[in-house]
Chains A and B, each alone.
Chain A
């Protein structure tokens, strides 16, 4: 293919910034719609920053109701981010996978439910913080 000619100037001589623009423009007049050309919204990409380190889980129970997480919700659990106090986390406690708010209080860490009638659990050396809840997905109807 011959080099693309722009105003009689060989393509190679166009300053690099201009070249960037040229590369995305087909020959002829630029399309007026060009600035509006975007990908459709990818909700999964917005919910999940680290796909290789993220896992979906289904919530069973109501102990995080006050945090806005309901029975049957899907949560995105990331293992790429460091758990910090204040995060909602997935923890393994005596073999059970449980979701609680990680809190620091009285010089130690706690797994704290956010609903009436549930007990907080002290984090011990046998507790494993498996991941951090980074997003929530819920459908209301089909």
Chain B
């Protein structure tokens, strides 16, 4: 049996903001998504005030002001650098480290399994806290799915005091029987509904499902989940990242856009980005949707929502193909006389590139693949959008708005924190 831990940073973005700004301690803080759109991180004080994940900031602005909630624009430069530090701080505590997301890291604790792992995990949390100021929780269990669940338990239940070691079967059962099925990692909304119909509402009940029954519900993921909850690692990586059904690249504009050229520049950039994302996951797409819209929260302004859906045939991850389709769609849907505030590209019907159905007449795919690889390499090495097709444009007027962004405290020498010697 393996011993896996998940260390997860508490309210990560808020914790990063607080690391260099002591005025944020003890007050409610919300971090807003790109372009100051929605709440994507909340301090515990903000959670207590009822601010929800995804709440549009401008709709709750009055309430935020009334309660003295501080709103920060997201500062991914800072969050990324702090993540690097967090990972460095945990490395010596594990034989292997796998970054799962910006604030979650899986650890292989097998070599330490016969030690007191709660003490081990607490020493690790202390080191992260000391090096970065960031508070964390740790879940320990035989599989990744259970480690993820243990982590949620550690976070929610004060009983665990930040570390839940669910290797003990009795304790594990106790937690699983109280853990909502819908909150189990990998259980989507649709699956949760299907499970609920069968009267399955806890993680413990999922664990006790017959494999045949899980398979009958139609998803391989669920079958693997049952195994994982039973403590049997089921090629956990695939459980983590089931092939995505769809992906989107969407941004709001810093200043409203009212000319086709500027919109085309934005849409083209999103198409390029979407292609890059697809390729990094080894996927190809069969459907591309391009959309752009006016500000639907401005009831006084004229409204228009444009959306065009296109079939990609053959299925592709070629940025230039995506770009051509996106531009065709955007041009067809364009209407003069509106102030557009948001645009995006969505890709659906995604399959693994090796499973891509071949078509006749698809030209020299291999050569195009090499071009895309080169493009990704150039952009990876020299920074985003170093190599761009001319259509993408070079102006960046529509780049996102981030009015309350904190400085790049740790990555730009002009922006390092000031210490008073007065």
Contact = CB atoms under 8 A, between A and B. Distances in A.
- Specify whether A and B are partners: yes
Interface of A: 50-53, 55-64, 69, 71, 74-75, 77, 79-80, 90, 92, 95-99, 113, 118
Interface residues of B, number: 21
B302 interface: no
A80 B130 contact: yes
Please name the 7 residue pairs, one residue from A and one from B, whose CB atoms are nearest each other, closest first.
A52-B88, A61-B421, A53-B131, A61-B422, A63-B421, A56-B416, A52-B85
B410 A55 contact: yes
A55 B418 contact: no
Contacts of A90: 419
Given A52-B84, A79-B131, A97 B416 contact: no
A99 B409 CA distance: 18
A118 B25 CA distance: 27
A45 B420 CA distance: 26
B22 interface: yes
A92 B21 CA distance: 10
Nearest to B416: A56
B420 A53 contact: no
Contact of A74 (B130, B133, B416): B416
Given A52-B84, A53-B130, A58 B416 contact: yes
Given A75-B419, A97-B22, 17 more contacts: A52-B84, A52-B88, A57-B416, A58-B418, A59-B418, A59-B421, A61-B420, A61-B422, A63-B422, A80-B131, A90-B419, A96-B420, A97-B417, A97-B420, A98-B419, A99-B421, A113-B421
A57 to B, nearest CB: 5
Interface string B395-422: 0000000000000011001001111111
B89 interface: yes
Contacts of A57: 416-419
B23 interface: yes
Interface string B189-220: 00000000000000000000000000000000
Contacts of B85: 52-53
Given A52-B88, A53-B89, A99 B22 contact: no
A92 to B, nearest CB: 5
A120 to B, nearest CB: 13
Contacts, number: 78
Contacts of B89: 52-53
Contacts of B409: 55
A97 B410 CA distance: 16
Given A53-B85, A57-B416, A62 B421 contact: yes
30 contacts: A50-B131, A51-B88, A52-B89, A53-B88, A53-B131, A55-B410, A56-B410, A58-B418, A59-B418, A59-B421, A60-B418, A60-B419, A61-B420, A61-B421, A61-B422, A62-B421, A62-B422, A63-B422, A69-B421, A71-B421, A75-B419, A80-B130, A90-B419, A92-B22, A96-B22, A98-B419, A98-B420, A99-B419, A99-B420, A99-B421
A4 B57 CA distance: 68
A97 B88 contact: no
Contacts of B410: 55-56
A123 B421 CA distance: 16
Contacts of A50: 131
B20 to A, nearest CB: 8
Nearest to B91: A52
A10 to B, nearest CB: 35
A64 B133 CA distance: 26
A81 B410 CA distance: 19
Interface string B103-139: 0000000000000000000000000001111000000
Contact of B419 (A52, A59, A95): A59
A101 B362 CA distance: 71
A97 B416 CA distance: 13
Nearest to B414: A58
Contacts of B130: 53, 79-80
A116 B200 CA distance: 73
B114 to A, nearest CB: 28
